[in-house]
Amino acid sequence: MKPKMKMKMRESLRFVLVGHVDHGKSTLIGRLLYDTGSIALDRLEEAREAARAYGYGAEAGAEFAFLLDHLREEREGALTIDTAQTFFSTPARDYVLIDAPGHAEFLKNMITGAAQADAAVLIVDVSRGVQEQTRRHAYLLSFLGLEEIVVALNKMDLVGYAEAPFRAVEEEVGALLKAVGLAPRSYIPISAREGENIAGKAGKMAWYRGPTLLEALDSLPSPLPPEDKPLVFPIQDVYELEGKRLIVGRVEAGVLKAGMKARLLPLGEMVTLESIVRWSPKLGLCANEEDEAHPGESIGLMLKEPVPLDRGDIICQPGPGGEDEPHLTTGLQAHLFCLAGPLKRGEELTLRLATQQVPARLEEITERLDSASLAVLERDARALGALEVGSVRLATDQPLVATRFSELRQLGRFVLARGQGGEEISAGGIITSL
């Protein structure tokens, strides 16, 4: 018998699609699914019937906007009201498309979606140009560290597929992105409704020599595999099992191997990862002393040493001089996006980072900005209003395991919440320095 060949995993890329409301995101997603053969023909026919039922029957291509908008409220309002994930593939690799809402009321969902992505497509209606949400989304992409950007200038059919309107909006968007420190890889004139420059070259835009949207996506570099990063394993809970402690959590970065030495933070002790525990439907919980776990896997873990443990502790990979380790801090500088204002200087909040949850104070607001215009509204401010951005300093009542966002995203972003149990999410932030 021949030995089994190990199958090579296909590359995948997660990207978020953002843009102002009515600039054509849902239509573009439907078109991507259709052009990549990722949607069944009977489902497309259902979408056509839905489009006709809601008064879009006379508009060619309107069914593509209905492929994802399942909710009655979304169809009636022609809005996408929640963050959704969609999957499609090209011969080059697999894609996870994160559809982020475009209107202001659902910015919290947009932030949640964009934080999961490796790249972004910013869609702009070429007949309308940059709008308020375009500016805000551009800032948020920069805020979240998304540097791989493709700009799709949509609805070229409304401007007769002419080059001049495309160049004018390309210049306008370019100036906006430059202002927030972003440099997109390409600007692509498309018509999502008509299928121009999505999967195939546009017959109506011979003046355009660049890639199609799918070609541009295929050319984006693959993200650094999380396996290549230092180990980060936030502890979600600790259970007693037959006189031993079972630690449960998810590997966020690096590779966790049974038998390896690691550091437990914030305690600072070195520990030995005795065995990895997994669940088998036939055997129940099984401990394996030769197993390993990769990013995204939720596992149980047994330690050899009887050290104190709790939810929020971090098991990490020690390095020479500690340079591979997260940091312990009680103070941090951050960029903060306020979702539910006002956030007042001196206010007591709950800071949640990975599985950690600690009391925190908003010590200083060094700068307050309008997230749409990016204008500085005030320095040394007393409060941040809803949808405003601030450079802030936070202090925590107990040590926090963290890194700068640029070092490791999993331990470099956080949320601030109000309420006794931290139920009300008030802001999202990224750590700039500790």
Enumerate the domain spans of the chain. Answer: 12-219, 227-322, 327-433
- On the question of a common fold for 227-322 and 327-433, the answer reads yes
Helices 163-179 and 132-143, interaxial angle, to 10°? 50
pLDDT exceeds cutoff 90 at 84: no
Which has more pLDDT, 118 or 225?
118
Contact 1, 165 (CB under 8 A): no
**Average pLDDT for residues 223-240, to the nearest whole number?**
84
77 pLDDT exceeds 70? no
114 has pLDDT over 60: no
| Contacting residues for 251 by C-beta, under 8 A, at least 6 apart | 231, 232, 233, 293, 294, 295, 296, 297, 299
Mean pLDDT of the residues in the chain: 81
What residues contact residue 363 under an 8 Å CB cut-off, 6+ apart? 331, 345, 346, 392, 393, 394, 395
Per residue in 115-172, pLDDT (tens digit) is 667 899 999 999 999 998 888 888 878 877 788 999 999 999 999 999 999 999 999 9
Question: What is the topology classification, in CATH, of domain 327-433?
Answer: Elongation Factor Tu (Ef-tu); domain 3 (2.40.30)
DSSP calls for 311-376:
TT-EEE---GGGTTS-EEEEEEEEEEEESSSPEETT-EEEEEETTEEEEEEEEEEEEEEETTT--E
The model's pTM: 0.68
Do the beta carbons of residue 274 and residue 315 sit within 8 Å?
A: no
pLDDT at residue 226 is higher than 70: no
Q: 414 pairs with which residues across the strands?
A: 429
DSSP 231: P
Cα(326)–Cα(431) distance, integer angstroms: 12
pLDDT digits (tens, 9 = 90+) for 366-420: 999 887 666 788 999 999 998 888 899 999 999 999 988 878 878 888 889 887 6
What is the assigned CATH class of domain 227-322? Answer: mainly beta
Determine the Cα–Cα distance for residues 111 and 140; give it in Å rounded to an integer: 7
Give residue 82's identity as a one-letter amino acid code.
D
Indicate the pLDDT class of residue 5, thresholds 50, 70 and 90.
very low
Q: Each residue of 253-274: pLDDT tens digit? A: 889 999 999 999 999 899 999 9
Q: Specify the range with the lowest mean pLDDT, choosing from 131-135, 197-201, 316-320, 329-333.
A: 316-320
Choices 3.40.50.10860, 3.40.50.300, 3.40.50.2300, 3.30.830.10: CATH for 12-219:
3.40.50.300
Tokens of 34: 């259709």
Alpha carbon dihedral 165, 166, 169, 173, in 10-degree steps, equals 180
CA-CA distance, 420 to 377, in Å (whole number)? 31
Whether residue 351 is predicted with pLDDT greater than 70 in this model: the reply is yes
Q: Is the dihedral of CA 407, 408, 413, 414 positive or negative?
A: negative
Residue type, 88: F
Write out the two tokens for 144. Answer: 């979240």
**Residue 6 pLDDT > 80:** no
* pLDDT above 70 (res 46): no
From the number of C-beta atoms within 10 Å of its C-beta (0-12, 13-18, 19+), residue 279 rates as exposed
H or E element, residue 169: helix 163-179
Cβ neighbours for 126, distance < 8 A, ≥ 6 positions apart: 153, 154, 155, 156, 158, 159, 165, 166, 169, 189
> Higher pLDDT residue, 311 or 86?
311
Please check the confidence at residue 275 and state whether its pLDDT lies above 60: yes
User: Has residue 45 got a pLDDT over 70?
Assistant: no
